[in-house]
Amino acid sequence: MGYLPLNPTRTPPTAAPAPSISAVQKRTLTVLLVSQILSGVGLAAGVTVAGLLAGQMLHNTSLTGLPVALLTAGSAVAAVVIGRVSQRLGRRPGLAAGYLTGALGGTGVVVAAALGSPALLFVSLFLYGAGTTSNLQARYAGADLAAPHQRARATSTVIVATTAGGIAGPLLATPAGHLATALRLPELTGLFLLSTVAFTLAALTLLLWLRPDPLLLARTLPATPAEGAAGGSPSRSGPGLIVGVAVLVLSQLVMVAVMTMTPIHMHAHGFGTAASGLVIALHTGSMYLPSPLAGRLVDRFGATAMSVVTAGTLLAAGVVAALAPGHSFTLITLALVLLGVGWSFGLVTGTAIVTHSTPLATRAKVQGLADVAIAVAGAVGGLASGLVVAFASYPILAVLCGVLAFVAAPAAIVAARKSSARAWPT
């Protein structure tokens, strides 16, 4: 039996064509959307019940701002680590490591409450902050492959995905509490049980499907003229960086300070956990739902105008919160919604400036340091808020925060005039 001769005209199989950058960007955004929805549940737990849990364990309301301070301090350390890991290995391992650390912290909170150990609670809240950092830094991954004129919208697309989990988290406080009680755990640990699972699933989502890594792929692409103008050199950040960080820091400090003490303020005036949870849920929704609008406005009108809008919105939130009677659920809710919208505008605006002002060679590391400043601002706001309310009042805290936020407006205008037109998106 003979062998069939080889066909000399047969062409060898060819490799499938590489997907376009736009296709990879769409896939990246889809994966990030899923992970943000999951991690949004975890993000809400620390905000909604951490202060109440600490107050219950410590029997001291003046320290109820300490848990948020620990969360944000932990997120500051995590921002450095995640930024450096992302810079070296890519977004996927950096963000996933943060979520897994947050899940470990959530488990620790549950154990600490069950054992009645404040020391373990504080350590666990510190670790829990890493999960919130990954949730925040995911917005940078959404912009890695976006065109310069579309970065704000890409960033806002990732941010808005947190809305579903962020709203669901506080609303699940009561049923999650029932679950914890059924497991013979303190009721307030229910959301942390839920968050541990959510953070773990978010990490697995990124590890399995965020391929190719957007930051590593972006480094292989040729730089655009806008990239060259932003930093002036392949390794130096542009002059708008400080302005972007200032917008981010002030927005975070004001938001955390007022938000942290609002549930405590409401409980002091007779509102229950369900009422404060609803307010925080609406606040969380207002933090993320306006993000697409903020992205379009930044891309359309520039960062200077949006910095002024951010400052004015946060000032209005502070004034409404200060003037709202303690028994007025409607006005308190309005104040927290305005607070969330102002934070959303500030996050998208500041992120756009920071990203535009930083070259790819050092972008992830610089973005991590920017988020360190955000976390430190949140820690200061969370810790100081409890002290201000203890020694003054909630309305005084709200007014001080509103006035402080308005500093961002003239700072942005002055910086924009001193910077060249191409240095950052004015």
Report pLDDT digits (tens) over 246-292.
899 999 999 999 998 898 888 888 888 788 888 888 898 898 889 89
What percentage of the chain reaches a pLDDT higher than 90?
Answer: 35
Q: How far apart are CA 288 and CA 27, in angstroms?
A: 21
Q: Which two tokens stand for residue 292?
A: 């697409």
Could you say which DSSP state residue 422 is in?
Answer: T
Q: How far apart are CA 325 and CA 334, in angstroms?
A: 12
Q: How far apart are CA 9 and CA 6, in angstroms?
A: 9
The pair phi, psi for residue 138, each rounded to 5°, is -60, -25
Burial of 78 (0-12, 13-18, 19+ CB in 10 A): buried
User: Which pLDDT does position 416 carry in this prediction?
Assistant: 62
Q: How far apart are CA 190 and CA 196, in angstroms?
A: 10
Q: 59-68, 182-191, 380-389, 392-401 — which is least confidently predicted? A: 59-68
pLDDT tens per residue, range 388-407: 988 889 999 999 998 888 87
Please compute the mean of the pLDDT values over residues 311-323 and round it to a whole number: 93
The CA-based angle 204-209-214, given to 5 degrees, is: 115
User: Which pLDDT does position 421 carry in this prediction?
Assistant: 44
Per-residue pLDDT band at 187 (split at 50, 70, 90): confident
Answer yes or no: is pLDDT of 205 > 90.
Answer: yes
Record the pTM. Answer: 0.76
